[in-house]
Every structure is written in structure tokens, then in C-alpha cells.
């Protein structure tokens, strides 16, 4: 279906791909895995014709790839559904599906009825249940992905690249995605599946290719490759996340840095109360729609509750006021680094220091020297791989971008650190580093809230509050078993 042979790509002195190769057979779900910076994104940009390799070739069904300028020819062969959606939220689903391909009347006007009919027929053919007249901005992550897949298929492409498609989905949505993928494969669609969640590779893929340090390391049938060998190929050593030593209990006399009382917001969450002491790591777990993310966003001022109180280190910041939460001592890592965490065209230095202008100069003026000094300290502290603080943050790998978001959260020496799925879409080593940094920050006396459904994130916590349908339904102490946590998150009573 598609192959890249001997592909090399350089950006100045940086070698992004070094003689790499991959072959995807028709009807496969073929996984591409590797740590951040391994070359996966560069390969995708070459496979989709966004840029040309310096050396090597790309072929589709045995024929040479089209010229880069012939975008329609590329669209007929391949499409990528990115972790960062390319749907235009202000347009309807139908307009997104047939953007610049609208049916016209004899007067040259858009024929809306024909467009709606054509879009509905397309979605029905691929079993996508979405109203074509609905504004795309109202769609959830799962629905946007299916619309993007259908749009790609409408051009004639039968080779779809899925880039971290499950990063923002809960367990039920992931299951639906995999069911749809299996059905589409039966209809002749081939997938290249890029994910940091290795258990998903074993669940949905036939073949896996590993890249490391810009090179191809191995390609093997998934069923023949033990998990330990896959991790070893990705990291260069036989290791996954290290087992962490149990954190010492937080003394009962430590001051409370977060006191939430009876927080309620419409049908999102109800009567939520919790406390976090200095040096304590508390998890908020739950499936999508449980309310955990909304509670965390309320604590940091992104949302205002209908009722209830929030106290941070003895202060009551104004509800729904991010600046007030920052002033009270809150640091924050949002759920989606692309839309909420980074300004892509700004430098690492500017992104990392956005929330602490008072440290960068007097009277509201910013000293470039002070900014860069602080940024260099943060870059060193978070081990961000960059030639310097002036590099645009868009030039970093996903793991290093997430480290920049974490650096900004820590720039103000927060009393309380609130993290929402802090390791989504990063590789094993970056995940371990980020969680280690959270552990380090808590050991220094900062209270931490981690809102996540990633079990690796939650294992770090001293205790986990599990939310279901907007309420806290369980509290699990450190040392819980996976089946206990998953059952609580899914609302299952194991004793029933």
C-alpha cells in the first residue's frame, strides 16, 4: 500500500531521519512507535507529501509518489488524522467534508441541498453518525476524528495515518474507534497507527515498526514480539516505567494548600469536596464525562462553579479568574498542550515565562536578558532538548513541548500544582521524567492534584479520588490494583 525506502531528512545539523524505511501492506493496521524525537512525525510529513526527503523514495501501490505540488494526487493516496484536529470549528460538518469542493448551481452559487445530501451519504457509507448541518465546533474529539477519516476517504484515499488518535479519548471511545477501524479494514482501508500506548498496539495492530534516533530499528508481527522486547527496541534498553519506591506518608500536621468545599456546576459535577496538604499528591480519576477535568479546571479558574468554595493556601481566589488563581499560588498543566498549553510560533523562553511577567522586569517592562536567564534555568531543570531558549516551541518534539508546559507551571514556584493528563501523547522516557519531576516538586512541599485516567499518572498519587457521573464515588489509597481502579472509574462494584 505504501513504502518509504532509504529516507533521510536533515534540518541544518539535525538529522531527523537517517536512511529510514517502512513498508505497509494492504489491509493492515501497522503500528509506528518510538520515543519523541525518533523521527515519526518527520516520516508522516514525507508520507503525506508535506515535504520531500533529502534522500530516498516514497511509493504507493508500487508507483512513485506524486509531485509535491499535486496536492489532489496526494489526497487520493493518503491522509493523516492528526492529534491536533484540522477541522474548522466555525463551519458545519458538511462544509468541512467538502471544503472547496462544493456543488454549484447554474448561477455559480453553492447548492446546499446537494451538499447536505452528498455529505450525509458519505457519512452513512462509513457508519459515521453525525448531523452534517451541525457546526463542527460542537463535535467531541471522537466525532471529529471520524469526520476527518470520512473526509479523507471521500478523496479516494484508502491509506489513513492515525497520529495519537486515543490521546484524548476515554476507554469506551477507544473501544468504539477500534471497532470502527476493524470494520473499515474489512472495506479495504489500511491504517498506519502511531501511539505511545503500547497495549493499544497489541490490541489493534498486526505489525509494528520501531524507530529510534531517526533510524529504523525493527519491523515484526505484533503477536511475535514480547512487550519487553518492544520497549527495549524503543529505548535501547530493556525497561518500561521504573517501579517507584512508595512515597513516605504526608504528616497530618502539614498545612492544607487546597480546600474545596461542596463544589457544584450544573450537570457537570455535584457536591465535590477535597483537601490537599503540602507535599501530598492527590489523584482525580474517572472516565470521560466523569467531571474530573472540569473540577480541575475550576480550581485553576478556567471555570466558575454555581456554588461551593475553593481556598488555596489560605486565600480564596475569585471564581472563574485564572489570574487570581495564579496569584494565589496555582501552577497548571492543561489537558491539551496544542490548544491550551502552548503558543506555537512563540519561543520556548516566551512560552515558559508567560505567567511570571513580574519576574522579568520592573514596571511591566520585560527584560530579554532576565527572561532568557529564567528560561535557561527552566530548560535545564526540565531537561528540554533545544539549542537555546529562542527556538520556536513548534520546533520541539511532543515530549519536549510538554516539558515546556510543565516548566511554565513551575516558573512561579507554585504552592499548588494542578495537572490534567500530564503525560498524554509522550513517550515512555518523557513520561517517566515528567512524573519524576512531579514527585520531586511534591517532596519539596508543593501540593499536587493530578486529574487523569492514565493509570501510570495515578500510581504516583498518595491517594486517588474516583469520580463517576459528577460525584466522588471512591477513595483509593496508594497501592491499589489496576482492576480496582478501572472498576471504580467505570462505576462497577466488584463486591456486588
Number of domains in the chain: 2
Q: Say whether both 190 and 293 belong to one domain.
A: no
- Give exposure, 312-330, as e/b (b: 16+ Cβ within 10 Å): bbeeebebeebebbbbbbb
Is residue 119 in some structural domain?
A: no
What residues make up the domain containing 57? 2-87+139-235
Is residue 82 in some structural domain?
A: yes
Beta bridge pairs of residue 29: 191
Is residue 299 in some structural domain?
A: yes
Q: Say whether both 296 and 346 belong to one domain.
A: yes
Is residue 131 in some structural domain?
A: no
The dihedrals phi and psi of 315, each to the nearest 5 degrees, come to -115, 150
Q: Measuring CA to CA, how many Å separate 399 from each of 35, 164, 223, 259?
A: 8, 13, 28, 32
Task: Look up the CATH number of the domain holding residue 444.
Answer: 3.40.50.300
Is residue 130 in some structural domain?
A: no
For every residue of 97-160, which 3-state class applies, written as one string?
HCCCCCCECCCCCECHHHHHHHHHHHHHHCCCCCCCCCEHHHCCHHHHHHHHHHHHHHCCCCEE
Is residue 243 in some structural domain?
A: no
Q: Say whether both 334 and 410 belong to one domain.
A: yes
- Rounded to 5°, the CA angle 5-11-15 comes to 55
Q: Say whether both 30 and 145 belong to one domain.
A: yes
Q: Say whether both 410 and 332 belong to one domain.
A: yes
Q: Say whether both 285 and 181 belong to one domain.
A: no
Q: What is the pLDDT along the chain (496 residues), one digit of tens a residue?
A: 999 999 999 887 778 899 999 999 999 999 998 876 788 989 999 999 999 999 999 999 989 998 988 888 998 899 888 877 788 889 899 888 888 887 777 777 888 888 888 889 888 888 788 888 889 888 888 888 888 888 888 888 899 999 888 877 777 788 888 988 898 899 889 999 998 777 788 989 999 999 988 899 999 999 998 877 887 787 675 444 556 667 788 888 899 999 999 999 987 899 999 999 999 999 999 877 789 999 999 999 999 999 999 999 999 999 999 999 999 999 999 988 888 888 888 999 998 898 888 888 887 788 888 888 888 999 998 999 888 898 998 888 888 899 999 999 999 899 999 999 998 877 778 888 899 999 999 999 999 999 998 888 999 999 999 998 899 999 999 988 877 887 787 676 656 4
Q: Say whether both 293 and 371 belong to one domain.
A: yes
Q: Say whether both 39 and 150 belong to one domain.
A: yes
Query: What pTM, to 2 d.p., does this model score?
Result: 0.60
**What is the reported pLDDT for 238?**
43
Q: Say whether both 274 and 161 belong to one domain.
A: no
- Give exposure, 455-471, as e/b (b: 16+ Cβ within 10 Å): eebbbbbbbbbbbbebe
Chain CA centroid to CA 338, Å:
8
Is residue 405 in some structural domain?
A: yes
Q: Say whether both 335 and 304 belong to one domain.
A: yes
Is residue 102 in some structural domain?
A: no
Q: Say whether both 188 and 286 belong to one domain.
A: no
The dihedrals phi and psi of 73, each to the nearest 5 degrees, come to -65, -40
Amino acid at each position: 500500500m505504501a513504502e518509504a525506502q532509504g529516507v533521510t531528512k536533515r534540518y541544518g545539523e539535525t538529522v531527523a531521519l537517517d536512511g529510514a524505511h517502512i513498508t505497509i501492506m494492504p489491509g493492515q493496521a501497522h503500528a509506528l512507535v518510538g520515543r519523541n524525537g525518533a523521527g515519526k512525525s518527520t516520516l508522516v510529513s514525507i508520507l503525506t507529501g508535506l515535504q520531500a526527503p533529502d534522500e530516498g523514495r516514497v511509493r504507493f501501490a508500487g508507483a512513485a509518489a506524486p509531485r509535491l505540488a499535486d496536492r489532489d494526487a496526494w489526497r487520493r493516496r493518503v491522509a493523516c488524522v492528526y492529534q491536533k484536529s484540522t477541522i474548522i470549528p466555525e463551519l458545519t460538518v458538511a462544509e468541512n467534508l467538502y471544503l472547496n469542493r462544493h456543488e454549484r448551481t447554474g448561477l455559480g452559487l453553492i447548492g446546499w441541498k446537494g451538499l447536505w445530501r452528498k455529505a450525509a451519504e458519505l457519512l452513512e457509507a462509513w457508519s459515521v453518525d453525525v448531523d452534517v448541518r451541525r457546526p463542527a465546533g460542537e463535535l467531541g474529539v471522537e466525532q471529529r476524528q471520524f469526520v476527518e477519516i470520512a473526509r479523507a476517504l471521500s478523496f479516494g484515499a484508502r491509506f489513513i495515518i492515525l497520529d495519537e488518535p486515543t490521546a484524548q479519548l476515554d476507554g469506551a471511545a477507544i473501544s468504539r474507534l477500534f471497532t470502527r477501524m476493524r470494520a473499515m479494514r474489512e472495506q479495504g482501508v489500511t491504517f498506519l497507527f502511531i501511539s505511545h500506548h503500547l497495549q493499544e498496539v497489541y490490541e489493534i495492530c498486526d505489525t509494528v515498526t520501531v524507530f529510534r534516533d531517526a533510524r529504523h530499528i525493527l519491523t515484526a508481527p505484533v503477536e511475535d514480539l514480547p512487550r519487553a522486547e518492544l520497549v527495549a527496541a524503543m529505548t535501547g534498553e530493556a525497561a518500561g516505567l521504573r517501579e517507584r519506591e512508595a512515597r513516605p506518608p504526608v504528616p497530618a500536621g502539614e498545612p492544607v494548600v487546597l480546600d474545596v468545599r461542596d463544589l457544584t456546576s450544573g450537570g457537570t459535577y455535584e457536591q465535590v469536596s477535597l483537601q490537599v496538604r503540602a507535599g501530598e499528591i492527590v489523584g482525580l480519576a474517572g472516565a470521560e464525562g466523569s467531571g474530573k477535568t472540569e473540577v480541575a479546571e475550576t480550581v485553576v479558574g478556567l471555570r466558575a462553579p454555581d456554588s461551593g468554595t475553593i481556598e488555596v493556601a489560605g486565600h480564596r481566589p475569585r471564581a472563574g479568574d485564572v489570574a487570581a488563581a495564579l496569584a494565589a499560588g496555582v501552577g497548571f498543566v492543561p489537558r491539551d498542550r496544542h490548544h491550551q498549553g502552548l503558543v506555537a510560533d512563540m519561543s520556548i523562553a516566551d512560552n515558559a515565562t508567560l505567567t511570571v511577567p513580574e519576574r522579568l522586569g520592573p514596571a511591566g517592562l520585560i527584560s530579554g536578558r532576565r527572561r532568557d536567564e529564567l528560561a535557561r534555568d527552566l530548560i535545564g531543570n526540565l531537561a528540554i532538548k533545544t539549542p537555546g531558549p529562542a527556538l520556536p516551541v513548534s520546533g520541539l518534539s511532543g515530549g519536549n513541548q510538554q516539558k515546556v508546559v510543565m516548566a511554565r507551571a513551575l516558573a512561579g514556584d507554585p504552592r499548588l500544582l494542578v495537572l490534567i493528563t500530564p503525560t498524554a501523547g509522550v513517550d515512555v522516557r518523557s513520561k517517566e521524567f515528567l512524573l519524576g519531576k512531579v514527585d520531586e516538586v511534591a517532596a519539596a512541599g508543593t501540593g499536587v492534584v493530578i486529574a487523569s485516567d492514565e493509570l501510570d499518572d495515578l500510581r504516583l498519587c498518595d491517594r486517588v479520588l474516583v469520580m463517576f457521573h459528577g460525584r466522588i464515588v471512591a477513595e483509593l489509597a496508594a497501592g491499589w490494583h489496576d482492576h480496582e481502579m478501572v472498576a471504580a472509574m467505570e462505576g462497577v462494584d466488584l463486591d456486588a
